[in-house]
Amino acid sequence: MSFPPALLELLVLCLGLALLLVESFTEKQDRTLLAYIGMVGLGVIFLILQLLPPGPTGMASYVFDPVAIFFKKFVVLTTIIVLIMSVDYATTIQRFVPGISSQAGLGEFFAIPILTCAGMMWMASAIDFILIFVSLELVTISFYVLVAFMRRNASSLEAGVKYLILSAFSTGFFAYGAAWIFGVTGNTNLVRIQQVLPALGAENYSAILFGALLVLVGLGFKIAAAPFQFWVPDVYQGAPTPITAFLSVGSKAVGFIVLLRVVQAFQSLPPVGDKVVAALIILAAATLIYGNLAALPQTNLKRLLAYSSIGHAGYLLMAVAGISARDSGQAVVIYLAAYLLMTLLSFLILIIVSNYADGDEIVNFNGLSQRSPLLAFGLLVAMMSLAGVPFTAGFLGKFLVFKVAYESQQFVLLALGIITVGCGFYYYLKVVRAMYWQSAASNGATIPVSGLSFATIVLLVLFTFLLGIFPQMATGLLR
């Protein structure tokens, strides 16, 4: 089949632009229709991705390898589920956006994530610092808008400003680092850099290392690794919940693919590559400790999930730090697949419950098992999987990460990982306790769930179990 893979992003882009045009030229149309069109369109893109074989693209800065295909499918799927969440969340958006008509601004709220998705797909394929930079900026700038979208909500605006300032700051580090690397190697292309590096003299090592570490700082902000995680709790809590889910799954995943490709490129020069790995080990240890310990006292589920997302970045960094092991890349991929299932599942249920209870504190989940057994069971599965209980996808991910750490002899990290998993059990099970052991508050009615969300919850629960029980399914993720 001669379908040029670079056309995929353009199709996604056209879909987003078409939705914007439909939005501006129709008056009375129900805006949620736009979200459904977006979901169907992205579904078609997902099918095309499923059929396309990896192969050469004829472009120096753009690859279409199995890893790129996996991440493209990953972000397309994430965007579809984010759109499903956004439809559920539409009433909250309407409350906080000033408008003449009742559905003001909703069309843009559904269309911008699709443009973000195109940026993320470009990042999945980019192997040139310039392409990485511009697509990273496309993703970040659309997130500035989305995070601050609820203009009448002070915490959403605060989150937007914090994200804008810290993200721009980290972009500065990334660009400065890339400039140093270009200055030494004369290349922005990661493949060319990998070829050029071994020939460099020892007097250049400190400059290369400096550039690599600056890039690492820039990416550390994007993937929310400690000590660059200060923005995470406030931004995640203030942003509209579907966008929080998008940030914590999509934005983190594309940060990791760039990190993998950059770290891989520096492995061709062991004196520098080893130091980059050492920096990754420190980052991973700090992230594991901070994310898991700070999550312990949280009483708000959205904030708890923010800290949990920092903790999971720590496990993922463990896998990246074990780059010398053969399965490092695969462990990252499978962990992210599991992370997508369980995180989006918890955010979807969080949106449904908090819409009804008008709050996202853990107290709002008290007695959920009596009110809505399905939602409670779904969140139970998500929490079990996030904690890493066997027979769920989360367990498989953690198992593979620990295996990589063992094979690459990172025993300190391995011990830290096992201890922090113990912490995880405490704070994830706190939510389960609220749902199953606490009695419900005054309004004990069943929470209404739309058909589409119901189907999504069932599918996500099913896949969480399938991936946990049949690990061989996971290896098929990277053809």
Partner 1 sequence: MAPIVFWIFVILMLGFGLSVIVSRNPVTSALSLVVSFIALAALYVSLGAFFIGVIQILVYAGAVMVLFLFIIMLLDLRVEIRKRMNLPAVSGGTIVIILFIKILFDVCYSFNGGHAEFPAVSVATHGDVWTIGTMIFRYYNLPLQIVGTLILVASIGVVILSKRELK
Question: Which parts of this chain interact with partner 1 (CB under 8 A)?
Answer: 6, 13, 20, 59, 61-62, 97-101, 104-105, 108, 112, 115-116, 118-119, 122, 130-131, 133-135, 137-138, 141-142, 144-145, 148-149, 151, 183-184, 201, 203-204, 206-207, 210
How far is residue 81's CA from residue 246's CA, in Å, rounded to a whole number? Answer: 9
Closer CB to partner 1, 180 or 402, in the complex: 180
Only one residue has tokens 């389960």, namely 432
Closer CB to partner 1, 25 or 358, in the complex: 25
Measured on CA atoms in the order 326, 328, 331, 337, is the torsion positive or negative?
negative
Contact 42, 12 (CB under 8 A): yes
Closer CB to partner 1, 98 or 198, in the complex: 98
How far is residue 79's CA from residue 85's CA, in Å, rounded to a whole number? Answer: 10
**Residue 157 beta carbon to partner 1: minimum distance, rounded to whole angstroms:** 9
Closer CB to partner 1, 112 or 348, in the complex: 112
**Residue 435 beta carbon to partner 1: minimum distance, rounded to whole angstroms:** 36
Closer CB to partner 1, 148 or 254, in the complex: 148
How far is residue 447's CA from residue 373's CA, in Å, rounded to a whole number? Answer: 10
How far is residue 328's CA from residue 260's CA, in Å, rounded to a whole number? Answer: 9
Contact 288, 417 (CB under 8 A): yes
SS (H, E, C) 313-351: HHHHHHHHHCCCCCCHHHHHHHHHHHHHHHHHHHHHHHH
**Residue 97 beta carbon to partner 1: minimum distance, rounded to whole angstroms:** 6
The SS3 call for residue 128 is strand
**Residue 334 beta carbon to partner 1: minimum distance, rounded to whole angstroms:** 30
Contact 284, 314 (CB under 8 A): yes
Closer CB to partner 1, 147 or 431, in the complex: 147
Quote the strand ranges of 31-87, DSSP E.
none
**Residue 60 beta carbon to partner 1: minimum distance, rounded to whole angstroms:** 8
Phi, psi of 165, rounded to the nearest 5 degrees: -70, -50
**Residue 184 beta carbon to partner 1: minimum distance, rounded to whole angstroms:** 6
Give how far the C-alpha of residue 176 lies from the chain's centroid of Cα atoms, to the nearest Å.
25
Closer CB to partner 1, 32 or 370, in the complex: 32
**Residue 229 beta carbon to partner 1: minimum distance, rounded to whole angstroms:** 15
